[in-house]
Amino acid sequence: MKKNILLLLPLALCFILPGCLKDKLTKTYTILTPVYKEKTEVYANIKSNAPRMIESPGKIFLYGNYIFLNEVDKGVHIIDNTNPSSPVVKAFINIPGNLDIAVKGNTLYADLYADLVVVDIANPLQANFVKHINNIFPARRYSNGFVADTNKVIVEWIKKDTTVDINAPCINCSYLTFSSFQGGPMNASAGSGAVGIAGSMARFSIVNNFMYTVNDRQLSSFNISTADNPVRTTVQQVGSSIETIYPFGNKLFIGSSAGMFIYDISNPATPVAQGRFSHARSCDPVIADGNYAYVTLRSGSTCDGYTNQLDVVNITNLNAPTLAKTYLMTNPYGLTKDNNSLFICDGKSGLKMYDAANPLDIILKKQLPDIETYDAIAVNGNLLVVAKEGLYQYGYTYPGTLNFKSRIAVNK
C-alpha cells in the first residue's frame, strides 16, 4: 500500500505545482462587424447635414470660397473659407466609403465604395443627391469575405477587441483593407463651369468637359458636358497599383507604385499613352510644371519598397522622360507648387518649403516639423495643408516666408 502511495505522489504534485500544468496561450483580436443600410436610405441622406467633427481627414478640394475635405470612408466636410484665418465648418455630406472628390460648376462627384455619385452643390449648404452610377470602381473591395449586396451599403464598422485561446479559431477576427487608394493644383476659372483645385493625392481630375478617374489598374474618361449626367466614354488598362492623377496642359500624369505614366488628351474622350518613367517600387504622387515633373516616392503602406525621396523628372521629351535629380526625404506624401515655391508633405518630418527656381538645385527655406502632413494645395499665396492633427492654412511669399493663419483641429 505504501508503494502505491509513493507512485501516486508525483502525479498529485503535477496537479498542485504550476510547472506541471500546460500554459494557456491567448491572443487578442479586433473584430470588425459591418453595419448595413439599404442603398435607398443611404442615397436619401446624401445631402448637407449638420456639421460634424473632423476625425480622419483625407483628400482635399478647393472650389471658390469653399473647401471640400474628405472624411475617410464617411463623407465630405463643407468648409466656408471666405476668411482663411477663420474658416468655418458649415455642413457634412454623408457618403459612406468616400475617398475621392472633384467639383465642376454646381456639381460634386464622389466615390461611394465602388459607385460614382453625383451631388448638386449649387448651394453647398443645401447639397442634394442627383444620381449614382454602379460599379465604376470595381477595385474597391473588402478583405475576408465581407461584401455588401447590391441593395445595401456598409456604413460603418463596429470594433470590438476579443481575447481567445490561441488554438481556437476566431470567426470574423480581421480588419478592413482596401485596394490602394491614394494631383497639384489646376487653376479655376470663373463661371458655372469652373473647375476647382485638387490635392496631389487625387484620383479624380477634371479638364474642361471631361473627368478622368483612376482605380488600381484602369483610367476612365467621362463626358461631363452635362454636369449632372456623366457619361463614361472609355475605360483602359494603365498598369497596376495606380495611385494618383494630375492634369497639366493636354496631358495626364498618372502615378503608380512602379512609375509615372503620361497620357495625351488632345482627344479628351480617348486618352492615348505617350510616355513612362519607371522607378523603384514606392507610393508615387506626381505633379508637373513646365519642363519638369516632381514625384515623391515613399516606403511602407501598401506600396512596399524602401525608397523615400523626391525625383525631379525632365519631361521636355514627353515620350521618354528622364531622371534629372533626386533629393532624399523622410517619408513624403503629397506636394504642391506655385511658381518657384515648392511644398512637400514629408510625413512625420512635417511640412517643407523649397525654393525651386532651379529644379536641379532646390533649396530648403522653411520646415514645420511638428505636424504629420498628408497633402497640400498652394494657390495665390494661401497654403492648405491636411495633416494628422487637422486642416492648417498658411500665408506664403517667395522665396521662403511662411505664416500661420488657422487650424481646424482633428477630434481625437
| pLDDT digit string, tens, across residues 400-410 | 999 999 999 99
Do 74 and 170 share a domain, yes or no? yes
pLDDT tens-digit readout, 270-313: 999 999 998 756 677 999 998 999 999 998 766 666 789 999 99
Phi-psi region of 150 (alpha: psi -120 to 50; beta: other; left: phi over 0): alpha
Tens of pLDDT, residue by residue, the chain (412 residues): 444 444 444 544 444 445 444 556 777 777 878 888 898 999 999 999 999 999 999 999 999 999 999 999 999 999 999 999 999 999 999 999 999 999 999 999 999 999 999 999 999 999 999 999 999 988 776 545 566 566 888 888 888 887 766 665 555 544 433 333 333 333 333 334 566 899 999 999 999 999 999 998 999 999 999 999 999 999 999 988 899 999 999 999 999 988 999 999 999 999 999 999 987 566 779 999 989 999 999 987 666 667 899 999 999 999 999 999 999 999 999 999 999 999 999 999 999 999 999 999 999 999 999 999 999 999 999 999 999 999 999 999 999 999 999 999 999 7
Do 90 and 110 share a domain, yes or no? yes
Residue 18 forms part of a structural domain: no
Do 242 and 349 share a domain, yes or no? no
Q: Which domain holds residue 387?
A: 335-354+364-412
User: Rounded distance, CA 355 to CA 365, Å?
Assistant: 7
Residue 9 forms part of a structural domain: no
Do 39 and 146 share a domain, yes or no? yes
Residue 193 forms part of a structural domain: no
The count of domains in the chain is 3
Do 53 and 100 share a domain, yes or no? yes
- Hey, is 13 helix, strand or coil? helix
Per-residue buried b or exposed e for 212-245, using 16+ beta carbons within 10 Å of the residue's own CB: bbbbbbbbbbbbbeebeebeeeeeeebbebbbbb
Do 138 and 258 share a domain, yes or no? no
User: Rounded distance, CA 341 to CA 348, Å?
Assistant: 21
Nine-digit cell string for 71: 472624411
User: Rounded distance, CA 76 to CA 66, Å?
Assistant: 12
- Single out the residue in 178, 210, 227 at which a domain terminates: 178
Nine-digit cell string for 30: 479586433
Do 280 and 342 share a domain, yes or no? no
Within 10 angstroms of residue 149's Cβ, the number of other Cβ atoms is 8
Residue 383 forms part of a structural domain: yes
- Single out the residue in 128, 150, 178 at which a domain terminates: 178
Do 42 and 60 share a domain, yes or no? yes
Do 159 and 220 share a domain, yes or no? no
Residue 316 forms part of a structural domain: yes
What pTM was estimated for this model as a whole? Answer: 0.85
Do 220 and 100 share a domain, yes or no? no
Longest CA pairwise span in the chain (Å): 105
